[in-house]
Amino acid sequence: MFSPDIVIAAVLNGLLTGAVYALVSVALTLVYGVLHIINFAHGAILTAAMFAAFFAHQAGIDPLLSVLFIAPAFFALGYAVQRWIIGPASHGDDRNILLVTLGLSIVIENVLLAAFRSDTRSIDVPYGFSVVDLGFVFLPMPRVIAFGVTCVVAALLWALLTRTDTGKAIRAVAKEKLGASLVGIDVTHIYAVTFGIGAACLAVAACVLLPSYYVNPRVGTAYVLVAFTVVVLGGMGSVPGAMIGGLLIGVVESLSGLYFGESLGQLGIFLIFILVLLVRPTGLFGARA
């Protein structure tokens, strides 16, 4: 057995990792909730954003600063991809949307692979190895920052969805597409905005991840599979579900890594994922359909 201090440290570290999972998952669940599609290109977009943050850092801009333009750029990119590629290409058929996003993810991932090879790159930031001392446990600074930024983004997202007209339109489309279009909401535009918000969230996640992590053309895959798990666990389309689910998975991964070793920690996530899909596909917090 491990001493309580080690277990508590693992839980706290899990929460820090879980915050980034939550951010990636919120983006996925938001897109699902509104467009009713699973965006299989989610991981590839995250990877692309991490490369963007990487090269911004090469040009001398810290990720915490570059996020201020990478996030808007990815919003625009996400908007464009949904409006001019996914939407028209899939002819409104759900199965087609699945395949189109899968195709996009393959393209993005492999173009990155062709351009940057499979080398793993990481960056050095001044705060890279700083820690926050809580007295009984040291927490790495970059992940504490990531946790803080995630909280800020979650608050902003909540405000956007509940306080603004666009947010209300997004929620209207999520609930009843036809009704929303009848009252004059431009559904195509809202779809693209939602997809853009999802991409922007991924850009934020990329910028806070990079200082404590690394980037290679396949790095997004690991995150997106975790995000799928979180989203299913939290109930497809539920934003609070994704937040809680993300934190939970972070802790589960951290603890199972502690007890079973790193590579099997990932296996644990998949097994939870399959189990949840099979036993309760509406999620732990979702209503039974």
Partner 1 sequence: MTGPVNTSPRTSLLAAYGPILAVALVLALLPLATTANTVLNAMVLALLIALAGQGWNILGGYGGQFSFGHAVFFGTGAYAVALLQSRLGLNAYLAFGAAVAIGAAVGAAIGFLSFRSGLRGSYFALVTLAFAEVFRIVANASPWTGGASGALIKLDMRPENFQFASRATFFWIALALVTAALVATRMMERSRFGAYLVAIRENEDAAKALGVNTFRVKLQAITASAAVTAAAGAFYAQYFLFVDANIAFGTWISVEALLVPIVGGLGTVFGPLIGALALHGLAEATKALAGRLPGADLALYGALLVLAIAFAPNGVQGLFNRLKGGFSTRRAA
Point out which residues bind partner 1 (CB under 8 A).
37-38, 40, 85, 88-91, 93-96, 98-100, 102-114, 117-118, 217, 221, 225, 228, 232, 263-264, 266-267, 270-271, 273-274, 277-279, 281
Q: Which amino acid is at 39?
A: N
- For residues 75 and 222, the answer to whether their CB atoms sit within 8 Å is no
Q: 215 is written with which tokens?
A: 């980037």
CB of 62 to partner 1, least distance (A): 30
Q: CB-based contacts of 60: which residues, under 8 Å, 6+ apart? A: none
Measure the N-to-C terminal CA separation of the chain; round to a whole number of Å. Answer: 41
| Least distance (Å) between residue 221 CB and partner 1 | 8
Q: Which is nearer to partner 1, 56 or 276 (CB)?
A: 276
Residue pair 33/177 in contact by the 8 Å Cβ criterion: no
Residue 276's identity, in one-letter code, is: V
Give the shortest CB-171-to-partner 1 separation in angstroms: 21
**Within the chain, what is the greatest distance between any pair of CA atoms?**
61
Minimum CB separation from partner 1 for residue 85, in Å? 7
* 130 or 266: CB nearest partner 1: 266
Report whether 79 contacts 193 (CB < 8 A): yes
Residue nearer to partner 1 on the CB measure, 6 or 271:
271
Output 19 or 174, the one with its CB closest to partner 1. 174
How near is the Cβ of 97 to partner 1 at its closest, in Å?
9
